[in-house]
Amino acid sequence: MQEQTILITGGAGFIGSNLANHLSADNEVIAIDDEYLGTAENLRSEVDYRKHSVLEDDLPTDVDVVFHLAALSSYAMHEEDPTTGARVNVEGFVNVVDQARQEGCDTIVYASTSSIYGSQTDPSPESMPVAVNTGYEASKLARERYGEYFANHYDMSMAGMRFFSVYQGYGGAEEHKGEYANVISQFADDLASGEAPVLYGDGTQTRDFTHVDDIVRGLELAAEHDLTGVYNLGTGTAYSFNELVEMLNEELGTDIEPEYIENPIPESVYVHDTCADSNRMHDETGWEPLITLDEGLEQVCEPYY
């Protein structure tokens, strides 16, 4: 990416801080975060960090590109307080994008979600029908519709990125997320501590686990190519939680059986399986995932050796 001034909302969070640290090598990067789930400790000194809520006026939106990653990012957060979830995820999105528009910025890349595909064992293309079963999913689909509005009405580049199960590990920027971190991070930490990882149901649910470094490259390419529309970022390969525990046990040299409990999330809304079809992103930018799950798990487990 040619040197630019970049704003990253949610910039002290997991994905946001990885993106900020990467882009700050060659760009002027401003990262804002309300510190609900982010921490400035994730950021390098080269990043201009400022504490802000995406609901505020006068945000630092006089930039070339906005990466809008700020969100309440889980089912539980939204069910606890649907109004706040909608305000942060929808109103916050519109607020940031409109302020950027007024400042002359017309390139926005934002976080959507793969959850709106529901449970899918086959790779899900962007063209397939989507549905909303949770407040979290509703807020992300609303973002996509507002993204369509800004693109059509103001001729802005609006790229909505549907992430698939992003991970890095507690040795990266995920540790501060605690119970909201990816299961890879949680299971690895449990096993390394001699504890049994807790799996919902029978552990046969599957996820398309995508390393954060691949996500960061996808976000950067979306901005470079001025993409508009929605794009999947995932590997196209899914693993069950049972397989994941087995692979982590092998990597860590442990032999701990998981504990199975009843799923606390209603079956009607729980996404049992995910798998990405990322051909559109590949066709338009050349992006493809470079880090296999075996390689990713080796990185996750390295701090425990």
State which residues form the domain around 244.
Answer: 175-205+238-273+293-304
Q: Which CATH number do you get for residue 224?
A: 3.40.50.720
Which residues does 267 contact at the CB level (< 8 Å), separation at least 6? none
pLDDT mean over 198-208:
97
Question: Can you list the alpha helix ranges (DSSP code H) found in the chain?
Answer: 14-23, 75-80, 82-86, 92-102, 135-154, 183-192, 212-224, 241-252, 279-285, 293-301
Residue 122 sits in the same domain as residue 80: yes
* Contact status, residue 40 vs residue 49, Cβ threshold 8 Å: yes
The number of folded domains in the chain is 2
User: What digits encode the pLDDT tens for the residues 24-41?
Assistant: 999 999 999 999 989 999
More confident residue, 3 or 138: 138
What pLDDT does 159 receive?
A: 98
Residue 14 sits in the same domain as residue 37: yes
Confidence of residue 84 (pLDDT cuts 50, 70, 90): very high
Task: Kindly state the tokens that stand for 52.
Answer: 């802000």
Residue 246 sits in the same domain as residue 218: no
Q: Which CATH number do you get for residue 252?
A: 3.90.25.10
Residue 69 sits in the same domain as residue 158: yes
User: What digits encode the pLDDT tens for the residues 230-270?
Assistant: 999 999 999 999 999 999 999 999 999 999 999 998 888 89
Residue 91 sits in the same domain as residue 222: yes
Q: Would the pLDDT of 1 be above 60? A: no
Nearest to 72 by CA among 134, 136, 130, 3: 136
What pLDDT does 73 receive?
A: 85
Residue 71 sits in the same domain as residue 200: no
Average pLDDT, the chain: 96
Would you say residue 287 lies in a domain?
Answer: no
Residue 120 sits in the same domain as residue 261: no
Would you say residue 169 lies in a domain?
Answer: no
Residue 137 sits in the same domain as residue 244: no
Q: Would the pLDDT of 17 be above 80? A: yes
List C-alpha distances in Å: 299 to 103, 153, 178, 183, 184. Answer: 41, 44, 18, 15, 11
Given CA atoms 175, 94, 208, 20 in this order, what sign does their dihedral have? negative
Would you say residue 283 lies in a domain?
Answer: no
Q: Would the pLDDT of 216 be above 80? A: yes
Report field, pTM of the whole predicted structure over 0.95: yes
